[in-house]
Amino acid sequence: MDASANANKSDVHGRLTRREAAMAVVGLGYVGWPLARHFSRHFRVIGYDIDPRRIERLRNRAVRSGALDGESFGESGIVLTSSSDDLSEAVFYIVAVPTPVDEEKRPDLAALDDATRRIASHLKPGDYVVYESTVYPGCTQERCIPMLERLSGLAAGVDFKVGYSPERINPGDEVHSLSDTVKIVSGCDAEALDTIARMYGEVVEAGLHRVPDMKVAETAKLLENIQRDVNIALMNECAGLSWRLGVDFGEVLAAASTKWNFAPYSPGLVGGHCIGVDPYYLLAKAGELDMRLPLIRTSRQTNEAMGRNVADILLRELAARRKAPQQARILLMGFTYKENVSDIRNTKSMDLFARFAECGAQVDIADPHADEEDVRKAYGVKLVETLHPPYDMAVVAVAHDEYRRLDEAFFRNILSEGGLLADLHSVCRHRVRSLDCWSL
């Protein structure tokens, strides 16, 4: 092959712009699907997911998530597939698969390894592979690249390029979208960084932050969420103390927030696949270096225990109203891990339900966003389509917009006489005046 042919092959951005080749997004969850949609404005995109059901949902516009709402712009440039054979047409791969933890809270990289193997089987000289999945510092260099090299027979940095650009998608957030959020980009060398930055520059209007090393980008992603975990744990501890003191912690926060340098975090249940998971990736890497990181570890333990702690407080509140748990009927409002999304991964509403049920209470679960089949398969519990009042306690566990619009009359109609409204996110705090109300 002559020099001009080599130069043309290495011009990945140019080939994609001229639609001589395609890019692939591997994993079409809350991160991958927005990526595929945005990039399809400019390039041919292969949207690949191992789950045929998800592909069918996307094709039918049936996904009920704030991030996967079937919004239409440029999908004509996306080929949706669950066949990894279709990845052979790609020259630029973005990996956006989930990286959860297992039951022992250890990093579970099975999906990342699987995606890497599938890409390696199609990898060609001149190709690019960019990882967006959250990983521990050094994972891309120490785990992913050796696997790509071993399975493809190619050399990273010579035959193909690798980069890391951590996802910053916030499901259900219409303000901080992909294009409106600064993107961190890194590459295995200067050429890789330039090309990767040029690619992301097509879809990110807020700008790019280039970092000199992939490990820096990996660590920055973890720090973003660990900072929030630690601060929420602080609020949860202080809220617990305030409850014992008989002090309204909402009023405490309002007062403290009048100081210019007070960070206004709030207490709450920390679930999902970011804040509740990312600290374990850093803790795992620290363990390899014989470091414990006690602040991060303790904060995680505090937040992990919050669901059951809140449930115990609410059961005591019922007991104070002469209602034994075995006689109580409870409505749990919200089962997704956060408001206005359908994602139920690592939801702390399950901790509330489990504790209530463990004590003998009858619990109905309702959620306007969660998929009933997904809930049943993942947790073995059932959502109710129709409420069956009266309830001795209604727990607003997730701040869905639908719940924010409810008025005092609604709760009056579903609660028994002397019933308790547990408003964990204070969504009804200033609208409910005459009912007995408890909040974080």
Nearest to 249 by CA among 310, 302, 299: 310
In the numeric block, the tokens 């996306």 are attached to: 78
- Alpha-carbon 90 to chain mean position: 27
Q: Please give the Cα distance from 422 to 439 (Å, whole number).
A: 6
CA distance 288 to 438: 43
- Active site includes 139? no
d(CA 363, CA 353): 7
Q: Are 143 and 109 in contact (CB under 8 A)?
A: yes
Provide the strand spans (E) within 64-206.
78-81, 90-95, 128-131, 161-164, 183-187
Q: Show the tokens assigned to 301.
A: 């333990």
Structure tokens at 19: 């639609």
**Which of the residues 144, 188, 274, 428 is marked catalytic?**
274
Burial of 260 (0-12, 13-18, 19+ CB in 10 A): exposed
Q: Is 40 exposed, middle or buried, given 0-12, 13-18 or 19+ CB atoms closer than 10 A? A: buried
Rounded-to-integer distance, Cα 141 and Cα 89, Å: 25
Tokens read off for 222: 């973890």
At residue 381, the 3 state secondary structure works out as coil
Residue whose C-alpha is closest to residue 201's, from 190, 185, 217: 185
Phi, psi values for residue 315, rounded to 5°: -65, -35
Q: What is the C-alpha end-to-end distance of the chain, expressed in Å?
A: 67
Structure-block tokens of residue 345: 């991964």
Three-state DSSP state, 440: coil
How far is residue 221's CA from residue 208's CA, in Å, rounded to a whole number? 14
Question: Which segments of 143-213 does DSSP mark as H helices, in order?
Answer: 145-152, 190-201
Please compute Rg for the chain using Cα positions: 24
Q: Tell me which residues are annotated as active site.
A: 274
